[in-house]
């Protein structure tokens, strides 16, 4: 296998939308094929990621404190937050549902926020630690991002089920809007993070598998 080179080290810039690669192009110049501005890295990647993460953390509070589900029948009205809903499902014996809601609405968003904060923090510090693990972590965040709206579906499904039984009226509470905002903000934060930042200071490039031949090892 030939020596790995990065586009950056060869003075090349790839156009994100159309994939054309330009030699000697300057940052911000228009792509000669599709006209999009050329960038070596996503512009302001870390600043944007931090801003979106901060907003997501802020919305995480109302998402967990405001009711996500309002159940009303002839006698009373019951408001459930995500966690009180989980407890309610658990004590009524709906363990599967309790687990799905707990994982999808509580653990997964928390994991994504924590993972992206770690990735952005380590990229900002130009950390050389665990680069391969960080790359794996970013891929996991990307994959589970597609399932993040699961919780909104669960509430919608429940509302439908309860209505069919005709026992009570279930409506989505304000917390669902806050929760959906957290999910969207986290997805945008994951999009604005440029995973190449993790590898930018990985020098020098080894000709062998860098995992097995650390650059400091004498050859």
Contacts of 73 (CB under 8 A, 6+ apart): 167, 168, 169
Nearer to Zn ion, 39 or 196 (CB): 39
Residue 13 binds Zn ion (CB under 5 A): no
Among 15, 46, 101, 104, binds Zn ion (CB under 5 A): 15
Among 21, 29, 30, 34, binds Zn ion (CB under 5 A): 34
- The β-bridge partners of 23 are 12
Cis peptide before 69 (omega within 30 of 0): no
Among 5, 18, 72, 133, binds Zn ion (CB under 5 A): 18
Cis peptide before 17 (omega within 30 of 0): no
- Of 48, 45, 13, 41, nearest to 29 by C-alpha is 13
- For residues 174 to 193, the per-residue mask of contacts with Zn ion, x marking binding by CB under 5 A and - elsewhere, is --------------------
Contacts of 113 (CB under 8 A, 6+ apart): 53, 56, 57, 60, 186
Nearer to Zn ion, 22 or 88 (CB): 22
Q: Which stretch binds Zn ion (CB under 5 A): 12-20, 107-115, 160-168, 194-202?
A: 12-20
Among 13, 31, 46, 178, binds Zn ion (CB under 5 A): 31
Q: Which stretch binds Zn ion (CB under 5 A): 8-16, 122-130, 142-150, 158-166?
A: 8-16
- Of 67, 89, 64, 58, nearest to 158 by C-alpha is 89
**Interface residues toward Zn ion, by CB under 5 A:** 15, 18, 20, 31, 33-34, 36
């Amino acid at each position: 296998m030939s020596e790995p080179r990065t586009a950056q080290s060869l003075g090349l810039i790839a156009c994100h939308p159309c994939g054309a690669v330009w030699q000697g192009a300057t940052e911000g110049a228009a792509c000669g094929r599709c006209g999009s501005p050329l960038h070596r890295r996503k512009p302001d990647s870390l600043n944007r990621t931090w801003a979106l993460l901060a907003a997501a953390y802020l919305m995480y509070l109302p998402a967990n404190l405001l009711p996500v589900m309002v159940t009303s029948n002839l006698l009373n009205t019951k408001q459930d937050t995500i966690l009180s809903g989980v407890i309610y499902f658990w004590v009524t014996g709906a363990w599967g549902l309790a687990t799905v809601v707990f994982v999808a609405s509580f653990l997964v968003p928390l994991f994504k926020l924590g993972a992206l904060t770690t990735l952005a923090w380590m990229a900002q510090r130009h950390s050389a630690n665990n680069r391969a693990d960080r790359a794996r972590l970013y891929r996991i965040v990307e994959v589970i991002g597609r399932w993040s709206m699961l919780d909104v579906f669960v509430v919608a499904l429940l509302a439908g089920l309860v209505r069919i039984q005709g026992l009570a009226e279930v409506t989505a509470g304000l917390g669902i809007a806050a929760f959906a905002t957290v999910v969207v903000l986290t997805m945008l934060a994951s999009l604005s993070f440029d995973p190449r930042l993790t590898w930018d200071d990985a020098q020098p490039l080894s000709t062998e598998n860098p995992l097995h031949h650390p650059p400091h090892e004498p050859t």
